[in-house]
Structure 1
Amino acid sequence: MSDWLHVHRGEAPLVVAFPHGGSGLGGVEPRFASPWLARRDADWWIAELYEFVRELGATTIATEVSRAVIDVNRDPSGASLYPGMATTELCPTTTFDGTRLYRAFDPEDDEIAWRRGTFFDPYHAALAAEIARLRETHPRVVLYDAHSIRSRIPRLFEGALPQFNLGTNNGAACDPLLEAALSEVCAQSGQPWVANGRFKGGWTTRHYGAPAKGVHAVQMELAMRGYMDEPADLSEANWPAPLHENPAILPTLKVLIAACLTFAEGTSA
């Protein structure tokens, strides 16, 4: 659709979204104290990891804009999704580790409004349009919001994050049968996992998930160690590390996506 927003249309009742895989700085690069820091917290290689979903007929939506410019998975009003917990804003002012992003002053209201109109609104207009298109021919559509994050970020969570972090807004964003099916896949993986733990689903999951209207939204937050090396001390010289040639978690991801399609297509209860 543009040089920063990419929509691949499929006909299966599944939309896979990649809101944080981008590293572009949206024309505001001079504002950042360090362009590398402004890119460091991307969900590195997430679209490449899930490339197989296109072969299954899934629709994919991805933005090339860094989450440091604007986070399209935050509440556009600016309200925190996790009150009382450390997090980043609609237009983040710090990295996940708490390092300041800007050379001088943080984005003010007029700049935030420009970024929202330029990036946030078109991304969600495209996402809403694809869900509506698929609902015209399918009684149920699954929105799978694909994320990843470094395994250890003390400011955000204690210790090592589980490999698979399923978020359904505490069950409100999808049918319990879908949550149960995905939980079973995670349990069978042999890797640590949790449902609705530190990550319960961001604004996308909470906004679009409407089971009564046939839209079932889930977020999957992956610990990056499952598909790339994570250096103990990150630097411009070693981060991002390359995608593993044969990611250890890829077989489980394929089963997760298959479970989403099975549910959406109504081929089992």
Structure 2
Amino acid sequence: MQEADRPATGGTPDAGSTMVAPFEIHRPVQQTEPFVFNSPHSGRIYPEPFVQSSRLDRLSIRRSEDHFVDELFAGVVQLGAPLLAAQFPRAWLDVNREPYELDPRMFDGPLPPFANIGSMRVAGGLGTIPRLVAENMDIYRGRLSVEEGLSRIERVYRPYHASLRRMIAQTHVQFGKAILIDCHSMPASVRVAGGSRRPDIIIGDRYGASAAHDLSRAAVSFLSGLGYHVVRNKPYAGGFITEHYGRPSRGLHALQIEVNRGLYVDEARLEKTSGFDVLKADLTEFAGQMMDHVREGLSEDRLAAE
């Protein structure tokens, strides 16, 4: 059994102009594992004003979603770990960025001086308020008001991270360590430089900076044992969330997992394929193996030693 927390404030309007919670926390009846799972890009409730302001159709605007990733990892709740899942779409707000990575070309007035307007992600159109979805498609017909952009950050971004921070802190207090698994998907076209074979799954640990090597090695080993082609850190080493929350020396570990969409979704129609159920079962098995690995003798001294 499980229960879901839905924030009472900071909602976003859905297609019917009613307010919906921007994210949900799916909790086990009792948390028994030092893990927190996070799905920041799987939201698929599109505010109607946002859709109307976009030059994209209702299918194209979904191209940057991590399609159904919250469902792929839903089994972790039954295993005793909480899952935080966004309901708002990544194209509307990206919480895997600094809070104010903003592109001044998108707005109708000057941004506050503390905005980071020079990051590589902003230059690529993928800031906190994205300018593009996948395949370099512009989202907006015109410029946004500065007030609208800052409002999304205050109403949704900050509460989202406050909840994630609290979940990690509570886990750390309860178990003496906390392991964040940040869950994502990647296009089927992704290739590793120098190789022709597509990776099924990429594990990112910021090149060892966000998690103990033992955890990264275990993740690669378990997923490989389930039959997947797994690589580490290339081309995805982890984003803001992995970098920001991973502090191995303090017993706070963060791994990013990128799952190839070709395994489970039709990328043209954005619908699940027959591979979805198999992948979901395997990812639940993987999560259980990671939990067993930590439970069965992976001491904090060993986690911090590498």
Which TM-score band applies after superposition, normalised by the shorter structure?
A: 0.7 to 0.9
How far apart are residue 159 of structure 1 and its match? 6.9
How far apart are residue 249 of structure 1 and its match? 2.9
Distance between the aligned counterparts of 1:85 and 1:30, measured in 2?
A: 25
Paired letter, 2:132: T
Any residues of structure 2 matched to 1:1-269 within 5 Å, and which? 1-2=6-7, 3-10=21-28, 11=31, 12-26=33-47, 27-34=49-56, 35-78=58-101, 86=124, 88-105=126-143, 107=144, 109-152=146-189, 161-230=198-267, 234=268, 239-244=269-274, 247-265=277-295, 267-268=297-298
Secondary structure (helix, strand or coil) at the match of 1:56 reads coil
TM-score by length of structure 1 reads: 0.86
TM-score by length of structure 2 reads: 0.76
Q: Which has the higher contact order (CA 8 A, sep 6+)?
A: 1
Distance between the aligned counterparts of 1:61 and 1:217, measured in 2?
A: 14
Distance between the aligned counterparts of 1:168 and 1:51, measured in 2?
A: 22
Percent same amino acid among aligned pairs?
25
Paired letter, 1:44: H
Distance 1:163 1:187, change over 3 A: same
Distance 1:138 1:50, change over 3 A: same
Aligned-residue Cα RMSD (Å) equals 2.8
Q: Which runs of 5+ in 2 are unaligned?
A: 1-5, 8-20, 102-115, 300-306
Larger Rg, first or second structure (1 or 2): 2
Q: For residues 217-259 of structure 1, what are the alpha-carbon distances to aligned partners after superposition, in whole Å with 9 as ceiling and x for unaligned?
A: 10100001112234xxx3xxxx211253653434542343123
Distance between the aligned counterparts of 1:159 and 1:66, measured in 2?
A: 32
Q: For residues 3-58 of structure 1, what are the alpha-carbon distances to aligned partners after superposition, in whole Å with 9 as ceiling and x for unaligned?
A: 22101223121111110111223453322112432223211111111121111011
Distance between the aligned counterparts of 2:291 and 2:253, measured in 1?
A: 11
Secondary structure (helix, strand or coil) at the match of 1:143 reads strand
Q: Residue 165 of structure 1 contacts residue 193 of structure 1 at CA under 8 Å; is this kept in 2? A: yes
Distance 1:81 1:260, change over 3 A: farther
Q: Residue 142 of structure 1 contacts residue 215 of structure 1 at CA under 8 Å; is this kept in 2? A: yes
Distance between the aligned counterparts of 1:85 and 1:257, measured in 2?
A: 35
Q: Which runs of 5+ in 1 are unaligned?
A: none
How far apart are residue 196 of structure 1 and its match? 0.4
Distance between the aligned counterparts of 2:190 and 2:211, measured in 1?
A: 28
Distance 1:244 1:85, change over 3 A: farther
